[in-house]
Amino acid sequence: MLLDDENYQADKEIPNPFARLVRDFKLMDGETARTIDHEFRAALGKLTQGMSPIELFNAYTDWLGHLAISPGKQLHLLQSAVHKVFQLGKFTFDAVAHGAETENIYTDRSFAGDAWQQFPYSFFAQSFLATKEFIKESSENVFGVKGDHEELVSFMNTQIIEAISPANIPFTNPDIVAATKAEHGQNIADGLKRMVDDLTDRTPVEERNPFQVGKDVGKTPGKVIFQNRLIELIQYTPTTPEVGSDPVLIIPPWIMKFYILDLTPKQSLIKYLVDQGKTVFIVSWKNPTAEDRDLTMDDYLDLGLLEALKAVTTIVPRCKVNTVGYCIGGTLLAIGAAALARDGDDTIKSVSLFTAQTDFTEPGEIKRMLGESQVSFVESAMWKQGYLEATNMGGAFKAMKPADLVWGPRVNRYFLGKEAEPNELMAWSEDATRMPYRMHTDYLRQLYLSNDLAVGEYKVHGEPVSLADIRVPIFAVGTTTDHVAPWKSVYKILRLTHTPVTFLLTNGGHNAGIICGAEHPRRSYQVHLHHPGDSFIDPDTWSETVERNPGSWWLEWNDWLDVQSGNKIKAPKMGAAKKGYEVLRDAPGEYVIAP
């Protein structure tokens, strides 16, 4: 039945009860929602020690799910378990009946002591090693599991199994048992006190780091001749009447303090270069705070490398600059060299890269902790504070070698009463730095996740750069036991450039291999010059065929650098006050000391 006009008009005047609600209702904008997500994830990250539970769940679900539908792998693991049980039974019988020992214990440095060779401690060690090997077999080579998931599962399983090593438990570690008997438990009491001090941060700073920057380390004479909101630039006092006409500019990583290159006089690369007749400059990065949260990779390039180059070429007129980059500082240098080459700027004369990656497809064990979900968790933690805590970075690196860097030192400190003899490198490693939110996010996403630099998609000032544009000589150094920048990853620079690359491989780790000093009886190296157009040699073949030389690689690099340094000239003055680069203060400056 149709309404007549009068009734229809009355119905129209009835107020709609939802009209005001619709009018006043405001949808949450995307930025607010993202803020809530960041807050929640930052809080959750504190509970999970920075690990993404989603990343772990996905990895373990992938692994266990594929393992459940792999009867062949299951049968293999069953046979392996039975075989290990039989081996352990035989070992135990021989140890009890005949006092036999086994060489397998020496596969783990934690059990190398003589006391571990005696039953029952040898049984504890053998059981652990067998379990550790079985867990490794279970974690790897499960058909169908994604590679990054397999790596994460293997990494986490390693953390778990290392935590329950008999070397970490007072009742199963013979050294702890012996010390407790000899000291009537005083070692345990002292260890508990140290643990409380460490947890409550009451340990005096002098005890944690007895080496003072500028007094004990970082004391090569020099002057700060430039400063901006991100860097101080240090020029070192010459020690020779003449120097090479083309100076050296060092770009250290900002994830560590620059004085790793200036520890003791024998370990100081800076002092060595100065004594060899080089004019040396180095960037000292500011330790960022919350107010630096929006600094970008472009800012690190502009305020760091490019401002430093401008200062160096002003103080030493008509020069070209021999640039040196260490770790992430080397990655930044490679980016900057490519950008300058793209723009037709020939300020750089040579590029030296120390343990610096330019292709991140195989970045080592750190990749296990850098899936998309994990990076988003790191991003949320940084968003909350404006930076990534120094302890987060240090903890990630220590987790790569848990037995040596996490549990071993704790056992020594808390159970055995053994204080590690302080040295300059250990003190420096505790003097860590923070990472600003925006820069570190860009770094992780653009380099580690997307590998933009290697594929020519990394942008500087909005335009892509290519490492193939670099035409100056390159000297690249890798170290054999580097777990931060594996040498085979560093080696990839040979495929990304069309310029002469001298690649050198030295024994040692990421830091110890670089700061080995000019004389080191246990160091050796291999070196080879790769010309453009030469056939590519895979890294394994390279390491097997290139001749090994005894001694420190510093001398080899210095000879190469001599060729790049030009004719001898009178050492330049410190700074150039009339051109805006006056001496501000003595080295090592303020940024390296500021907390």
Q: Which residues are catalytic?
A: 327
Pull the structure tokens for residue 32. Answer: 């607010």
Distance CA 442, CA 86 (A): 52
Exposure string (b/e) for 118-129, b if CB count within 10 Å is 16 or more?
A: eeebbbbbbbbb
DSSP 518: S
- Residue partners of 452: CB distance under 8 A and separation at least 6: 446, 458, 459
Distance CA 512, CA 272 (A): 16
Half-sphere exposure of 73 (CA within 13 A, CB side): 18
Q: Work out the number of other CB atoms within 10 angstroms of the CB of residue 391.
A: 12
Pull the structure tokens for residue 242. Answer: 């003449």
- Phi, psi values for residue 139, rounded to 5°: -80, -25
Using the structure block, give the residue that is written with the tokens 């459940």: 68
Q: Which amino acid, residue 16? A: N
Range list of β-strands (E), 6-70: none
Residues in the chain: 595
Helix (H, G, I), strand (E, B) or coil at 17: coil
C-beta of residue 434 within 8 angstroms of C-beta of residue 387? yes
Pull the structure tokens for residue 546. Answer: 């290139």
Q: Which residue, among 411, 484, 421, has the nearest Cα to 166 in the 3D structure?
A: 411
- Phi, psi values for residue 240, rounded to 5°: -125, 150
Distance CA 299, CA 108 (A): 45
Q: Which H or E run contains 52?
A: none
**Beta-strand pair 280-285/248-251:** parallel
Distance CA 346, CA 340 (A): 7
DSSP string, 153-206: HHHHHHHHHHHT-GGGSTTT-HHHHHHHHHHTTHHHHHHHHHHHHHHHT-S-HH
Helix (H, G, I), strand (E, B) or coil at 527: strand
Using the structure block, give the residue that is written with the tokens 């007072």: 170
Pull the structure tokens for residue 508. Answer: 């040692």
Distance CA 440, CA 334 (A): 17
Distance CA 326, CA 511 (A): 10
